[in-house]
Structure 1
Amino acid sequence: MSSSDDTPSTQLVPVKFSRLTRRGILLGLSLAQLITLGVALGTVVVAVYAGGGMLVAYTAPIWAASIALTWIPIAGRPLVEWLPVGFWWLWRSTGEQVLYRRRIVQPRPEGTLALPGDMARLREYTDPDTGACMIHDPHGQTLTAMLEVSHPAFILLDPSEQERRVTSWGRVLATACRSGHIATLQILERTLSDSGTGLAEWWDRHGTHDDSWASTTYGELIERAGPAGERHATTISLALNMRTAARQIRTAGGGVKGAANVLRQEMGTLTTALRSADLHPSGWLKAGDMAVILRSAYDPAVAAALERHGSIGRELATAGPVAVTETWGGLRTDSAHHTVLWISEWPRSLVYPGFLAPLALSTGIQRSLSLLYTPLRSDIAARDIRKKKVEYISDATQRARIGQIEDAAQAAEYHDVLQQESELTAGHGVLRYSGLISVSAPSEPELEAAVAAIEQAAIQASCETRRLVGQQAQAFTAAALPLARTI
């Protein structure tokens, strides 16, 4: 996907997404397939020269299993590509790494987050200038800040205004590509149970508080109906790559403090770009706000209570889950069951902005929609595009040599590469993007019903979703938490 800086037009312009490349190293075969196919051919050749037909029959389990691993597909992927997932899951499950129970008595080190898995290494840092809570990953060498954003209803705007806002959003994405210091940009849109705080505050300020029947009835209605509502919250997470920004960090003082100074500059640039796109930044999240988001993701049952009583649940040291159990295709936390879906195919035909409305506006389902953007520097993007072009041309020459018919999907992928090259030459930024959807429900039957509804909504949005297996815990952190994590 590439960001655009074109002048906005008065008509809504459809867009087209690049296809997910499925090209292999040789003749459409991946490295794992080539290895297993080589094992099969090598076994047959050695058997023929060593002992003839009988030895070929004796070695049949080896070369037959290798051929099966190479060609038999499961859920659209060759069987050999499932081996790393299966072995990784087996190793984690036998080592009890799919279970997490918080140690209540043992205190956690100061500044750490009470999160399971590899997120236990994350550290909290409060920027003294902005008061923003920054999350430092010492292993991944990233520093992340989160911004809450409010925006008007996009689908209610007229086409010319929608086109203008789309172009402005393209400029926002382009700002993330120019510095070369941004590791990940995450847009997280969540549905939350409305606590009714806003409605109750309005009634307290503007309502007529007397003993009349109308006043009493209206007050009871607000008290009961407020928490039953639903609202949407959007955050943008900005992760600084401390490796690529090492020189600037040393100039700013070094360490996490120097990284915070560099990240603060990127935060100011992003805030300015968002305001120019008619988006309304509500301020960079502080430690208490971050704690409420983390606690609400793992324990949705208390989300409304945490928002209604702003003085509780605002400590990052206790914001994590009490218990987590990961299964092959799901996740069980304090008060909910979760499943993460991957948007494996974006629309292949021309679509208009707002095509994700069936997913974003789904009601009655607790879900989080996370879009992860990885900006590429122009030199890295150009080198990657040149490499892809050489590989496509080499594959086409090899297929023509053996008489294989050219596939339309391969031609479409090559056209996408040429389109990216032309846009990069025109000065636009190149981003790699992925979409994840986390679906939550109080019980497994309700979760399956919610997943079916989300899958149907994805079909209406011209997208294809697949349930991630063997990595649900890691996928949940990327899909439901504003930490700019990738999988």
Structure 2
Amino acid sequence: MVSVALVPTWFTGRPMILWAPLLGQWFTRMARGQTKYRVRPLAPRPAGTLGLPGDAARLRVLVDDKTGAGLLHDPRSRTLTAIARVEPLDSFALAEGTQQDVVAGGWGSLLSSFCADTSNGVSRVGVVLRAVSDGGEEINNWFQEQGNPDMSPAAYEAYRDYISVSRTDSIRHEAFVTITLNMKSHGVAALIREAGGGVAGGAEVLRTRMEFVRGQFTEAALRFNSWAGSDDVAVLARTAYDPDAQPELESHPEVGRSLAGAGPMALDESFTYFRTEAGYQRVLLVVEWPRKPTTAGFLQHLVVAQVRHTFALICEPIPTRKAMSQARRASTSAETSRQWENKSGAVDSVERKRERSALAQEESALESGHGALNFAGMVSVSGNTLDELRVATEQVRTAASRSGCELRIIGGEQASAFIAAALPFGRGL
């Protein structure tokens, strides 16, 4: 009899034994009804909370009076997250390779500043790039003001029809950077008490980090637009679960800003996707990054793929001392393995040589003042039907392959992974 542990799963090829804990958790959630979510219109919601499914329902939005930012407070993990809306100063994809390296170096310096041993409390930095349906409100307003049917009635009608179609079929890109303050981290609690304590004190401490990050955006060739306010947070959640609502909400800025109504009305979670009243959503994880040296803009095929999707890069800074200790242990282990293999007569493979070289470079970079990060990349896609979802999934997988990456579907955690992958709320897996 073939052992169950040797049976591969249907979409990753990994042994079933590695999926046993996740499958157990999944069936437990199904038995408890936790894979379904329904809005209860008559049930009151606490003020400032988002109407989101799962554990994201505990998130609260607090408005900072000085900046107007809508800070996301997670009372369980005691974190505060600020969201910055940014845009590129110049086209990164069209820039020369040397200029791309300069921009990437500026962004790396920003991330490295959070890896210092002197605790600044920033536990997570996230980048979310959204490809959304373009409402075309600016073009439409200009056409309404400047268009003149008397000059050419045929051209006027043709252009008006084109704008009407492009408002739902065209895609534009939005970029957000999030910083998350861990109010429990060593050294931050004292600063919070000095600032008045509680969430208000945490907001005061986070504000200094926000100003620092804002001043560093220019080095990374980014233009700071604004801190996302409470209304912006509601719209981000609303359009993530219902992408087709984007043009309508942009056309009517007086609606769709309610935090309580930001999430879906209903959600049914399956193992590899979930469904809401607006369609189907799926989250994929970047499980393999480029194996060989590449350019700083290697992700551009995935980021600018002509499909409605979101790419999220989640970074968690590692204190310098801890990172150097980990690097030295890894180098020692690799060298010990090499000596043991030499004694046993084993051939030193190219892959092991590459691994030791990479570890040596990492240790050297840390000693030179660079920072270390734990990071993960995720992609979310959507479709009005399952067939559309399958097509979108294959499109982003193809785009990822062109970027030298591999995407795999996240199993059993789609609804919670979506919060981290599609929303700039500073969440992790």
Counterpart for residue 419 of structure 1 = 361
- 1:470 to 2:412 alignment: yes
CA displacement at 1:395 relative to structure 2: 4.7
Partner amino acid for 2:323?
A
Provide the C-alpha distance between the structure 2 equivalents of 1:410 and 1:250, rounded to a whole number of angstroms: 50
Mapped contact 1:370–1:436 kept (Cα < 8 A): yes
Measure, in 1, the Cα distance between the counterparts of 2:426 and 2:327: 25
Query: Equivalents in 2 of 1:375, 1:423: separation in Å?
Result: 15
Q: Which amino acid aligns with 1:233?
A: E
Determine the C-alpha separation between the residues in 1 that align with 2:46 and 2:163.
43
Distance 1:379 1:265, change over 3 A: same
Q: Which residue of 2 is the match for residue 356 of structure 1?
A: 299
Please list the CA deviations of residues 264-319 of structure 1 after superposition, one character each: whole Å capped at 9, or x if unmatched: 11111111100233311110000111111100011122121011111100111211
What pairs up with 1:363-402 in 2 under 5 angstroms? 363=306, 365-396=307-338
- What residue number does 1:184 align with? 124
Q: Distance in 1 between matches of 2:376 and 2:25?
A: 23
For 2:366 and 2:94, the matched residues in 1 are separated by 33
Counterpart position of 2:244: 301
Cα distance between partner residues in 1 of 2:383 and 2:410? 17
Count of residue pairs the alignment pairs up: 421
- What does residue range 37-76 of structure 1 map to in structure 2 within 5 Å? 65=3, 69=5, 74=9, 75-76=12-13
- How far apart are residue 466 of structure 1 and its match? 1.0
Could you say which residue in structure 1 is the equivalent of 2:178? 237
1:180, CA displacement in angstroms? 4.1
- Counterparts of 1:322-341 in structure 2, within 5 Å, are 322-341=265-284
- Distance, in Å, in 1 between the alignment partners of 2:78 and 2:353 is 38
Matches of 2:102 and 2:408 in 1, distance apart? 33
The match for 2:93 is 155
Q: Which residue of 1 aligns with 2:163?
A: 222
How far apart, in 2, do the equivalents of 1:337 and 1:90 lie? 21
2: distance between equivalents of 1:307 and 1:355? 32
2:422 & 2:246 partners in 1: Cα distance? 14
Aligned to 1:24: none
What pairs up with 1:15-30 in 2 under 5 angstroms? none
Q: Verify: 1:131 aligned to 2:73, yes or no.
A: no
Could you say which residue in structure 2 is the equivalent of 1:110? 47
Amino acid of the structure 2 residue aligned with 1:388: A
Could you tell me which residue of structure 1 aligns to residue 370 of structure 2?
A: 428
What's the CA shift for 1:149? Answer: 0.7
SS in 2 for 1:325: strand
Hey, what's the Cα distance between the residues in 1 that align with 2:263 and 2:392?
A: 25
**1:394–1:251 distance in 2 versus 1, CA, 3 Å:** farther
1:172-198 Cα shifts (integer Å, max 9, x gaps): 222333454211111111111111101
Answer yes or no: is the 8 Å Cα contact 1:300–1:336 preserved in 2.
no
Q: Does 2:33 correspond to 1:92?
A: no
Is 1:197–2:137 an aligned residue pair?
yes
Equivalence for 1:246: 189
TM-score by length of 1: 0.81
2:388 to 446, 450, 454: 446
Equivalent position to 1:79, from 2, 9, 16? 16
Q: Which region of structure 1 is more displaced relative to structure 2, 157-166 or 133-142?
A: 157-166
CA contact (8 A) 2:79 2:183 kept: yes
2: CA distance between counterparts of 1:180 and 1:378? Answer: 13
The 3-state SS of whatever aligns with 1:124 is strand
CA positional deviation for 1:469: 0.7
Give SS of 1:156's match.
Answer: coil
Shift of 1:479: 0.6
For 2:171, the aligned partner's letter is E
CA RMSD of aligned residues (A): 2.2
Unaligned stretches of 5+ residues in structure 2: none
Q: Is the 8 A contact 2:133 2:167 kept in 1?
A: no
Offset at residue 121 of structure 1 (A): 1.3
Equivalents in 2 of 1:455, 1:153: separation in Å? 24
Where in structure 1 are there 5+ consecutive unaligned residues? 1-60
* Equivalent residues in 2 for 1:31-42, closer than 5 Å: none
**Matching residue of 2:218:** 275
Contact 2:324 / 2:366 at 8 angstroms: preserved in 1?
Answer: yes
The amino acid that maps onto 2:134 is: D
What do the CA deviations read for 1:1-26 (whole angstroms, capped 9, x no partner)? xxxxxxxxxxxxxxxxxxxxxxxxxx
Q: Deviations over 1:426-483 (max 9, x none)?
A: 0011111111010111000111111111111111111111111111111111110111
Contact 1:180 1:375 in 2 (8 A): no
Aligned to 2:290: 347
TM-superposition CA deviations, 1:62-98 (whole Å, max 9, x none): xx85xx63x6654343332211111111111111111
Percent identity for Structure 1 against Structure 2: 35
The one-letter code sitting in structure 2 at the alignment partner of 1:445 is D
TM-aligned CA deviation for residue 398 of structure 1: 5.9
**Cα distance in 2 for residues equivalent to 1:261 and 1:206:** 46
Q: What is the DSSP-based 3-state SS (H/G/I as helix, E as strand, rest coil) of the residue aligned with 1:236?
A: strand
Query: SS at the partner of 1:113?
Result: coil
Q: TM-score of the superposition, structure 2-length normalised?
A: 0.92
* Worse-superposed segment, 401-410 or 474-483: 401-410
| SS state at 2:246 partner | helix
Write the deviation string for residues 119-155 of structure 1: whole angstroms up to 9, x where unpaired: 1111111111101000011111211010111113212
Give the deviation of 1:165 after TM superposition: 1.8
Quote the Cα distance in structure 1 between the aligned partners of 2:17 and 2:344.
25
Deviation for aligned residue 1:210: 5.4
- Opposite residue 409 of structure 2, the aligned amino acid is R
Q: Is the 8 A contact 1:175 1:269 kept in 2?
A: no
Q: CA deviation at 1:397?
A: 5.7
